[in-house]
Structure 1
């Protein structure tokens, strides 16, 4: 059915107003002691989110097909060799503390490879368009990550994480300060209680990192699991390893460029020095493209990089042009405002970058080691755009 321009305009107005007034709250912060036994180190955080367990179990039951559950069991059979003993013990410890099946917790931690993180489809209605191709079958948008350098050479890092989670699970995201020998080594944003990977984080070593989905999490789901079984790093868990072990922006860049992964991904990196910013486009085994900040007064709009869920050198699909809107908003503000904490946060909270599937809005300053993270709740769950 072809929607008229008037109908599309009314829907956009209604949903846009709902976004503007949908609630968002700063996230709670916890400390995680890396010197504690791996099987116990999450317990004090898990206790805070006991009420989320029934919703987490329901999500796993409803969203994971039987084939996917069988693939989880393949990984579970060799858990320590595949993700390492330390992280394997963390997953087992979470399952034990909540008294749930280890396979469920593992499955939740493999959501990127199972295409559950950010979803199976992207969706948009392009404003001011009567083209029926601009209306796509319901799904979700995906993620936005951007780095922007101000006039003083400071680099900021903003990100939006979209995930089609019910509101009952959106309040299960939180900030984690990872502590070793009594000192914080990095801060991560945990998207849902029960997961141990870090899709977003900032290191004391002067860099920040975020993940955007590429090619809907990879090719066939089985390919991602095969890659895991052959030694490929789980994408989100590897981000945590980089935040834990990289000693500089350059070392983080090198690790993200070279390591064998279980699925294609975009890693977005920002540093504490001028021109330290990159969008790293990865296939499983190779670096596909390295797009780096190279700010020059003679090159217009060279002060930012913006990545959604499509290779930056290609045109996005017509029903999901968040890139165009993000670039438009940054250009309107200009470097003086757009590369400030307030300006970049304003861009992140503007539709369609922030939309009905947005569950996190995060802003990081690697040089000053500042992170601001907000939970976003959906007030349009009964809209025609919502996918149960």
Structure 2
């Protein structure tokens, strides 16, 4: 598996958790360098959706937009705000966020060195076999300092358009990361079940 070894600089930005979820990312998306990444984000969503048969794609996007109503706050509100800021369909933003929970990429390790220091590391599995996805993630990777009352509560290495913290650390407290999964995890299973239920409900409503 050939790795992509080019290193790109990663921006670091604050996000105010005291702001209501639907407006929480407004300041971030007003920055010019983030505005410049919106076409990349839009293309990444398009590439992601291209694996779905074209004839069912509009229905899936509509279902994913309805799935937003089933997601807990603040994530649902944050996704609606990101959709508004980027002009990308809400269903596509929901799909972008759920895609990682339904995939099996990236690996984390926890190790202890000879001095007793604990190290928590995570790779991004950027490989040439998945060139489009790897280039998209590499280009949109950012660091976010989630703050309240001017203090950073935790920092996340994430991707533009994603909510939550796939990788994060709270200063002098703990670190977290989403690790590789060989099967659907419990979140993925619930997402899959919810999409099936929404599909059944939508089909039944037209009969």
Per the shorter chain, which TM-score range? Answer: 0.7 to 0.9
- Cα deviation, 1:157-177, whole Å, max 9, x if unaligned, reads 111012532535522111111
Match of 2:15 among 32, 39, 42: 32
**Residue aligning to 1:299:** none
| Rg larger for | 1
**Residue aligning to 2:202:** none
> What is the DSSP-based 3-state SS (H/G/I as helix, E as strand, rest coil) of the residue aligned with 2:44?
helix
Give the Cα separation in 1 of the matches to 2:57 and 2:121.
32
Q: Does 1:160 align with 2:153?
A: no
Number of residue pairs matched? Answer: 185
Could you say which structure has the greater relative contact order, defined with CA pairs below 8 angstroms and 6 or more residues apart?
2
**Residue aligning to 1:206:** 173
**TM-score when scaled to structure 2?**
0.74
Q: What RMSD in Å do the two structures reach over aligned CA positions?
A: 3.0
Give the Cα separation in 1 of the matches to 2:97 and 2:184.
14
Give the Cα separation in 2 of the matches to 1:225 and 1:84.
16
4+ aligned runs moved over 6 Å, structure 1: none
Q: Does 1:181 align with 2:149?
A: yes
* Residues 5-20 of structure 1 aligned to structure 2 (within 5 Å): none
Q: Does the aligned pair in 1 maintain the 2:107–2:180 contact within 8 Å?
A: no
Give the Cα separation in 2 of the matches to 1:97 and 1:31.
17
Give the Cα separation in 2 of the matches to 1:27 and 1:95.
22
Distance 1:86 1:60, change over 3 A: same
**Residue aligning to 2:43:** 58
- Cα deviation, 1:288-322, whole Å, max 9, x if unaligned, reads xxxxxxxxxxxxxxxxxxxxxxxxxxxxxxxxxxx
Distance 1:148 1:68, change over 3 A: farther
**TM-score when scaled to structure 1?**
0.42
Distance apart, 1:112 and its partner CA: 2.0
Distance apart, 1:200 and its partner CA: 0.6
Distance 1:224 1:208, change over 3 A: same
**Residue aligning to 1:286:** none
Q: Which ranges in structure 1 are unaligned for 5 or more consecutive residues?
A: 1-11, 119-141, 231-388
**Residue aligning to 2:29:** 46
Q: Does the aligned pair in 1 maintain the 2:64–2:95 contact within 8 Å?
A: no
Distance 1:112 1:94, change over 3 A: same
- Cα deviation, 1:199-255, whole Å, max 9, x if unaligned, reads 111123611111123125459x8864215789xxxxxxxxxxxxxxxxxxxxxxxxx
- Cα deviation, 1:311-358, whole Å, max 9, x if unaligned, reads xxxxxxxxxxxxxxxxxxxxxxxxxxxxxxxxxxxxxxxxxxxxxxxx
* Residues 243-322 of structure 1 aligned to structure 2 (within 5 Å): none
- Cα deviation, 1:3-39, whole Å, max 9, x if unaligned, reads xxxxxxxxx9xx67xx5xx321442211110001222
Distance apart, 1:40 and its partner CA: 1.7
Q: Does 1:79 align with 2:68?
A: yes
Give the Cα separation in 1 of the matches to 2:144 and 2:73.
21
Distance 1:228 1:75, change over 3 A: same
Give the Cα separation in 2 of the matches to 1:42 and 1:186.
16
Q: Does the aligned pair in 2 maintain the 1:52–1:168 contact within 8 Å?
A: no
Q: Does 1:112 align with 2:97?
A: no
Distance apart, 1:61 and its partner CA: 2.6
Distance 1:147 1:26, change over 3 A: farther
Greater helix proportion: 2
Q: Does the aligned pair in 2 maintain the 1:52–1:169 contact within 8 Å?
A: no
Q: Does the aligned pair in 1 maintain the 2:63–2:195 contact within 8 Å?
A: no
